[in-house]
Amino acid sequence: MKNTLRLVCALLLPVGLLAQLTPPKLDIPYGHNPAAGKFAEVNGIKLYYESYGTGRPMLQIHGNGGDIQAMGHQLKFFSTHYRVIAADSRGQGQSGLGTDHLTYEQIAEDLNALLDQLGVKSADIFGWSDGGIVGLLLAIHHPDKVGKLAIMGANLRPDGAYAWAEDAVAKQNTLVDEMIAKGDKTQPWAVQKQLLDLLGQQPNIPVSDLRKISAPVLVMAGDKDVIKDEHTLEIFHNLAQAHLCIFPGATHMIAWDNPALLNSTLETFFSKPYTRPDTKDIFQ
């Protein structure tokens, strides 16, 4: 049950599909690697993080209910030529919770504090799902920290997700409420309640805040994502410097299902100077 609920939080998928989904297991035990793992004291909690490689810093941020292990394919690919930093977000993985009302803003502030402790003045950022939301908040509130930002399957509001996803969250909320009411102690239901609150009640990022972002942003989604197509376009069209990528034949899970395509797309965006060509300029 623990893994099922964690994956519902992380992926917003119907329960019947969850048994088929597990984080990638690679030659390096990302997320559980004593050789690379450390704890940082930030904002009243112990935040678990791992760092790999050398070069320009890149911060990778996992999705709801997940941990560093979920980013294994991206950690392995980019650590060959970047200094890649990944953390278990507050209340997830090995990181402490320290609050009874978890917010995306708290998670963003934790990562900002981690970068400060590591002496990282600016980093490229890749955020998947909830990680993309956190990346947007970092770009809004700490623009100096963000070189380039790539987001995959992120949203500004709960209604940015399809109705089936909102229904899945509501059903899990009912289940968790029942277990809490029974006094069940088999799982950390109060923590799961907070993770579900992130999905069902947050984020609430005004479009006007998007327009404050000065960093180049790559906005990505699968063509059958958990986020509505029109919502992904809303994000793209309200950023001053942005590229859009809708992956064909892809879902929210492209980071696991087709990491080669995702990683090559990210590498092109991060390694090349940002430009914004426009077809209309060709005809003028």
State pLDDT tens for residues 185-201. 999 999 999 999 999 99
Q: Is 2-9+33-272 a CATH 3.40.50.1820 domain? A: yes
Mean pLDDT score, 264-279: 97
Q: What is the pLDDT of residues 124-174, one digit of tens each?
A: 999 999 999 999 999 999 999 999 999 999 999 999 999 999 999 999 999
User: What is the residue-averaged pLDDT of the chain?
Assistant: 92
pLDDT value for 32: 96
Residue 243 near residue 269 (C-beta atoms within 8 A): yes
| Neighbour tally for 222: CB within 10 Å | 24
pLDDT reported for residue 284? 87
Confidence of residue 22 (pLDDT cuts 50, 70, 90): confident
Residue 18: what pLDDT? 35
pLDDT band at 19 (very low <50, low <70, confident <90, very high): very low
Could you tell me what percent of the chain has a pLDDT over 90? 90
Query: The tokens of 194 are what?
Result: 């907070």
The residues, any chain, with a CB within 8 Å of residue 131's CB and separated by 6 or more, are 60, 61, 62, 63, 89, 151, 154
8 Å CB contact between 75 and 82? no
Give the model's pLDDT for residue 21: 65
Q: Which of 7-21, 108-122, 130-144, 196-210 has the lowest mean pLDDT?
A: 7-21
Q: How confident is the model at residue 23, as a pLDDT?
A: 86
